[in-house]
Amino acid sequence: MYDPKSLKAEEFICHEEIEDTLKYADENKDNLPLIREILDKARLCKGLSHREASVLLACEDPEILDEIYKLANEIKHKFYGNRIVMFAPLYLSNYCVNGCTYCPYHRQNHHIPRRKLTQEEVAKEVIALQDMGHKRLAIEAGEDPVNNPIEYILDCIKTIYSIQHKNGAIRRVNVNIAATTVENYRKLKEAGIGTYILFQETYHKESYEKLHPTGPKHNYAYHTEAMDRAMEGGIDDVGLGVLYGLEMYRYEFCGQLMHAEHLEAVHGVGPHTISVPRLKKADDIDPTKFDNGISDETFAKICALIRIAVPYTGMIISTRESQKVRAQVINLGVSQISGASRTSVGGYAEEERPTDTEQFDVSDQRSLDEVVRWLMETDHIPSFCTACYREGRTGDRFMSLCKSGQIQNCCHPNALITLKEFLEDYASPETKAIGEKMIAQELENIPNEKTRSIAKGYVEKVAHGERDFRF
**What is the binding site for ligand SAM (CB under 6 A)?**
102-103, 140, 142-143, 176-178, 198-199, 201, 217, 243, 277, 279-280, 282, 285, 320, 359-360
State the nearest-atom distance from the C-beta of 331 to ligand SAM, in Å: 23
Question: Which CB atom, from 29 or from 320, has the smaller least distance to ligand SAM?
Answer: 320
Cβ at position 74, least distance to ligand SAM in Å: 30
Rounded Cα–Cα distance for residues 303 and 458 (Å): 35
- Smallest gap, in angstroms, from Cβ of residue 294 to ligand SAM? 13
Which CB, 140 or 442, lies closer to ligand SAM? 140
Sequence-separated (6 or more) residues with CB below 8 Å from residue 348? 88, 90, 124, 125, 128, 129, 342
Which class for 447: exposed (0-12), middle (13-18), buried (19 or more C-beta within 10 A)? exposed
Exposed e or buried b per residue across 382-417, where buried means at least 16 C-beta atoms within 10 angstroms of its C-beta: bbbbbbbbeeebbbeebbebbeeeebbbbbbbbbbb
**Separation between Cα atoms, residue 152 and residue 127, nearest integer Å:** 19
Q: Which is nearer to ligand SAM, 99 or 192 (CB)?
A: 99
Between 188 and 388, CB nearer to ligand SAM: 188
Cβ atoms within 10 Å, residue 15: 13
**Phi, psi values for residue 320, rounded to 5°:** -60, -30
Task: Give whichever of 103 and 368 is closer to ligand SAM, judged by the CB atom.
Answer: 103
| Smaller CB separation from ligand SAM, 98 or 414 | 98
Neighbour tally for 253: CB within 10 Å = 26
Shortest distance (Å) from residue 110 CB to ligand SAM? 17
Strands 196-197 and 238-241: parallel
Residue 150 backbone class (left: φ over 0; alpha: ψ -120 to 50; beta: rest): alpha
CB of 330 to ligand SAM, least distance (A): 20
Judged by CB, which is closer to ligand SAM: 126, or 243? 243
Shortest reach from residue 363's CB to ligand SAM, in Å = 11
Distance of closest approach, residue 215 Cβ to ligand SAM, in angstroms? 9
Pairwise CA distance, residues 414 & 469, whole Å: 8
Q: Mapping DSSP to helix (H, G, I), strand (E, B) and coil, where does residue 338 land?
A: strand
